[in-house]
Amino acid sequence: MDIRTVGVVGAGQMGNGIAHVFALAGFDVTMTDISQDALTASVEKIAQNLDRQVGRAKLTEAERDAAMARISTTPTLTDLGKLDLIIEAATEKEVVKHAIFAELLPHLGPQTILTSNTSSISITRLASQTDRPERFMGFHFMNPVPVMQLVELIRGIATDSATYDALEAVVAKLGKTSASAEDFPAFIVNRILMPMINEAIYTLYEGVGSVKSIDTSLKLGANHPMGPLELADFIGLDTCLAIMNVLHDGLADTKYRPCPLLTKYVEAGWLGRKTDRGFYDYR
Ligand code: CAA
């Protein structure tokens, strides 16, 4: 399977990072979102991030211009029907993903590979809602996508090896590294990362350390690029809570119980950087 054209559904933080790296690697990218404002903002963000790379002499102006020229947008999901690969990067809500697939599928060519950038939802269950479980996979990018080297590849129970091989080759073409994960709750990265973040929140909740001392401890004591609370704000506390709930429900072990302080912050609408308030105040 020779993949050249890519559709990205969802123009949020992950969608724009995914469009950025695909365009830079020479793929033609079509982005779609229900919000025209989100699409416009996303293209602006990609231009800014590419400009930053030019400013740091990581890219030439010609490479930036060529990448921007490969990106187009459409407000109509069904315009993605003829592309080789679709990456769903919409909100992390299963009903939203199902609705997107239901609208898209009647327009999709038989060979198109359909993927989801979900960070924790069962790939097998998502695939079962489509007409192509053998050409459906989890395709999980890390945030910020242009910087992070890893892409998790998750097979559903019915995914065929041609689909896996095609996506593995795409990751290599992006200049990134893939890791294969089985389809269990939160796969590998979030299975390990989220309980650490949740434990950092318990450490705060129980008064063992302040926000500053917890983050300083992990940054300087374990060489993490960001402290766990800063990272939670960066990822989004709603996303952290959703993933902890998937782990708790899916693995039925109290060690994955979301910290009540995390739940309270989400209830307050303190979701981290995106709302200007989380464990830190960004106002
Ligand atoms: N988009 C694009 N590029 C970005 C960026 C963004 N949002 N943020 C930073 N960069 C680039 C910068 O341009 C810079 O590039 P060059 O090296 O080419 O010049 C590089 O990243 C480093 O940036 P800075 O010097 O400004 O900042 P930094 O050194 O503090 O690094 C960071 C920032 C890369 C985000 C670093 O703090 C880091 O690695 N943090 C941890 C991130 C992480 O763990 N991500 C995974 C989250 S979990 C996940 O994504 C899975 C999930 O499902 C929830």
Count the alpha carbons within 13 Å of 262 in the hemisphere toward its beta carbon: 28
Which domain CATH number covers 112? 3.40.50.720
Q: How many domains does the chain have?
A: 2
196 and 140 in a single domain? The answer is no
At residue 245 the predicted structure's pLDDT band, cuts being 50, 70 and 90, is very high
* CB contact set of 189 (below 8 Å; sequence gap of 6+): 140, 142, 150, 152
136-141/113-116 β-pairing: parallel
Q: Whose CA is nearest to atom 47 of ligand 1?
A: 143
The residue whose CB lies within 8 Å of the most ligand 1 atoms, and thus the one to mutate among 147, 151, 196, is 147
Q: Report the alpha-carbon distance of residue 71 to residue 154 in Å, rounded.
A: 26
Domain boundary among 161, 181, 201: 181
User: Ligand 1: does its nearest atom lie under 6 Å from the Cβ of 143?
Assistant: yes
| Per-residue pLDDT at 138 exceeds 90 | yes
pLDDT digits (tens, 9 = 90+) for 40-54: 999 999 999 999 999
245 and 130 in a single domain? The answer is no
What predicted TM-score, i.e. pTM, was given to this entire model?
Answer: 0.95
Helix or strand holding residue 198 (H, E): helix 189-205
What's the 147 CA to ligand 1 centre distance in angstroms?
A: 5
Q: Which atom of ligand 1 is nearest to the CA of 52?
A: 13
User: Ligand 1: does its nearest atom lie under 6 Å from the Cβ of 235?
Assistant: yes
pLDDT at 31: 98
Q: Does a structural domain hold residue 283? A: no
Return the DSSP state at 33: -
CB 241 within 8 A of CB 271: no
**Which residues partner with 87 through β-bridges?**
8, 115
What's the 101 CA to ligand 1 centre distance in angstroms?
A: 31
CB 49 within 8 A of CB 18: no
Q: pLDDT > 90: what percent of the chain?
A: 98
177 and 242 in a single domain? The answer is no
- Known active-site residue 206: no
Q: Which of 16, 42, 190, 198 is catalytic?
A: 190
pLDDT at 1: 78
What average pLDDT does the segment 48-70 reach?
A: 96
User: Ligand 1: does its nearest atom lie under 6 Å from the Cβ of 196?
Assistant: no
Q: Does a structural domain hold residue 282? A: no
Joined tokens for residue 26 = 């020479």
Q: How far is CA 37 from CA 12, 13, 20, 124, 174, in A?
A: 11, 14, 18, 33, 28
What average pLDDT does the segment 134-153 reach?
A: 97
150-155/136-141 β-pairing: antiparallel
pLDDT at 84: 98
145 and 210 in a single domain? The answer is no
What's the 238 CA to ligand 1 centre distance in angstroms?
A: 20
Joined tokens for residue 124 = 């097998």
Residue numbers of the domain that contains 212: 190-273
The angle that helices 61-69 and 36-55 make with each other, rounded to 10 degrees, is 160
* CB contact set of 117 (below 8 Å; sequence gap of 6+): 14, 18, 87, 88, 89, 139, 140, 141
Domain boundary among 130, 155, 181: 181
The answer to whether 13 is annotated as binding is yes
Q: Does a structural domain hold residue 281? A: no
pLDDT digits (tens, 9 = 90+) for 194-230: 999 999 999 999 999 999 999 999 999 999 999 999 9
